[in-house]
Chains A and B, each alone.
Chain A
C-alpha cells in the first residue's frame, strides 16, 4: 500500500525564505523539489499567516495575480491563478490589507542567472491577529531549532554552510526581534511595509515558471 507522501507545510520567516537560492531534488522525474534555505530547511510546502499587502493582476489575459504577504521579517512574493482555483476564488473576496492564512507550494524561479523564491498559494483564508501571533511564535521556535541544527555537523548543515555560509547571529537577531515585537504587542502589520528586497521583473516572468 504505497501512498503519495504529502509534504509537511514548513514554518519559515520571509527573510530566510527569500534568501534561498537553491533547490534540492527534482533530478529524476516526479521527484519532489524542495527549496533549500540558508538555515538548511527543505521546503516544498509552507504555511504562512501574515498581512496581505498587495494583490495586483499582472496578467489579465491569463488571470494571474501577484500578491505580497508580510511577516515581521519581510514579505513573501506569491502568484495566484486558475492553476489554484481555490486560492484564486478566495483572493477575489479578500481586500488589502488583511490578515490571511495561506497554505502554499514553495517555488524557485530561475531566470537569467537570478533565483527568486516565491509561493503559489493552494488556499488563502481570512485570519486574525491572534492566529498570526501564534504563527510568529511557532515560526520563531522552528527557526531557532534550525539555527541550533546548523551548529551540529550533519549533511544538511554542511551543504547549507557550503552554499550560503549563513550568518547565524543575524538570523538569531531576526527571531529575537520578531519575538520582542510580539511581546510589545506592536502592530506588526503597519511596520511590515518597509520594503522588500528583490522586486521581480514582470517581463521575465513566464507563466510556465509558475508551475
Chain B
C-alpha cells in the first residue's frame, strides 16, 4: 500500500465509529497533499485534528477508541458501550463489581476494581465504559475498570447479541429445568412444546429430543447450560432410543427427567461450549473429580501465613 492510502486507512480506522467515510478522508488528504502541497505527515495531523474538532471528540477518546465487544483485543485500551447482563457477588476485597456485559456483537466479562472507586452499575442498564483495558483469561475476554476509567450512564438501549465464544466452566449442577428429559420441540423453531402447542406456531408437529437445561453454579457465579443427546449419553449412558423405551415402558415420559435428575443433579461438572447470551451450549461435559489434597495443603499454608 502506498503512503497515501495507508494514511487514509489509518485515519479511517481511527474514526470509523464516528461514521466518517473513506472518500471524505481521501478528499481532504488529496486537497492538502496534491493541491496545497503540504507534506503527508503534516496533512495527516491536520486532518485528524480537523475531524476531531468537527466531531467534537477529545484526544483521549481517540486513544481509547470505541470498540465493539467482538473486536476487543487483549492488552488494548478501549471504550465500550455495553449493557450489564449479569452481576456476580464480589468475592475479593479488590473487586467492587464483576459480571457479564454485552453489545450487539457479543459478550465479555467485566471487572470493576475497588481501587478505581467507580460508581455502581446495575443489571439491565446501559453504560459507556471509557478507558478500560482488555484482558483475556481461558478464552474469555474481559474489560477492566481501573481508576483511569470512567463509567457513564447512556440513554440508549443496547441490543445484546447471542454470540459469545468458547468457554469452560466448572460448578455444581444445582437445578434441572422441567423442560428437560425426553421432550417434544416444535419442528419449525425448536421451542419446547407442551401438549403439541408451540408458543409461536400454535399446534405443530413435534420432534422428540433428549435435552437437558440446567444451572451450573460455583457459589460465585452461574451459567445456564444446555446439553444435547450426545452430552447426556456421555454422562449417563442414556440416549434418545433408550429414553423413548423407558418412557414407553413406564407410560410416562417424565421418568426420563427423573432419571436425569437422579444421575446428574448435585454433581460437579466441567463443561466446554459456546456461550450464547448467558447460556452455555455444552459441547463436551465431564464429571469434575479434582485431586484436592494439593489444593487443601496450599490453602492451609496460605492461611497459616496470614
Are the C-beta atoms of B295 and A183 separated by less than 8 Å? no
Question: Does A123 touch B at the CB level, under 8 Å?
Answer: yes
A147 → chain B, closest Cβ, in Å? 9
Q: How far is the CA of A101 from the CA of B218 in the complex (A)?
A: 14
Chain A residue nearest to B172 (CB atoms) is A47
- Tell me if B209 counts as interface (CB < 8 A to partner A): no
| A8 B220 Cβ-Cβ under 8 A | yes
Most buried by B among A9, A42, A126, A142: A9
Report the number of A-B residue pairs with Cβ-Cβ less than 8 Å: 108
CA–CA, A25 and B297, complex, Å: 38
Check B292–A137 contact: CB distance below 8 A. Answer: yes
- Determine the distance from Cα of A130 to Cα of B217 in the docked complex, in whole angstroms: 18
Q: Residues 265-288 of chain B: 1 if any A CB is under 8 Å from the residue's CB, otherwise 0?
A: 111100000000000000000001
Q: Which residues of the other chain, B, contact A161 by a CB distance below 8 angstroms?
A: none
Q: Nearest A residue to B92 by beta-carbon distance? A: A145
Given contacts A145-B92, A152-B93, A176-B303, contact A8 B292 (CB under 8 A): no
Min distance, Cβ A154 to any Cβ of chain B, angstroms: 8
**Contact present for B292 and A182 (CB under 8 Å):** yes
Residues of B contacting A10 in the complex (Cβ-Cβ under 8 angstroms)? 219
Give B154-182 as 1s and 0s: 1 = Cβ < 8 Å from A's Cβ atoms. 00000000000000000010110000000
Would you call B251 an interface residue if the criterion is a C-beta within 8 Å of the partner chain's C-beta atoms? no
Give, as a whole number of angstroms, the nearest-CB distance from B186 to chain A. Answer: 21
By a CB distance below 8 angstroms, the chain A residues around B175 are: 103, 122-123
A142-B219, A172-B306 known; A2-B124 Cβ under 8 A: yes
In the complex the two chains form, is A130's CB within 8 Å of B124's CB? Answer: no
- A6 and B90 CA atoms in complex are apart in Å by 16
In the complex, chain A residues whose CB is within 8 Å of the CB of B172: 9, 47, 101, 103
CA distance A138 to B170 in the complex (A): 12
A148 / chain B contacts, CB cutoff of 8 Å? 92-93
Question: In whole angstroms, how far apart are the Cα atoms of A167 and B93 in the complex?
Answer: 19
Q: Which of A8, A126, A142 has the most CB of B within 10 A?
A: A8
CA distance A134 to B123 in the complex (A): 31
Q: Which chain A residues lie closer than 8 Å to B91 at the CB level?
A: 142, 145
User: Can you list, as one digit per residue, whether each of B227-249 has a CB less than 8 Å from chain A (1) or not (0)?
Assistant: 00000000000000000000000
Contact B290 A134 (CB under 8 A): yes
Q: Contact mask A136-154 → B, CB, 8 Å, 1/0? A: 0111111011001101101
A176 to B278, CA, bound (A): 36
Q: Which residues of B contact A151 (CB under 8 A)?
A: 93
Whether B88 and A8, one on each chain, are in contact in the complex, defined by CB atoms closer than 8 angstroms, is: yes
Excluding A8-B221, A103-B175, A148-B92, 6 further A-B contacts by CB distance (< 8 Å) are: A8-B89, A100-B266, A123-B266, A124-B266, A137-B296, A183-B297
A-B contact pairs, 11 of them (CB 8 A): A8-B89, A8-B221, A47-B219, A101-B172, A101-B265, A123-B174, A125-B266, A144-B299, A175-B303, A176-B303, A179-B303
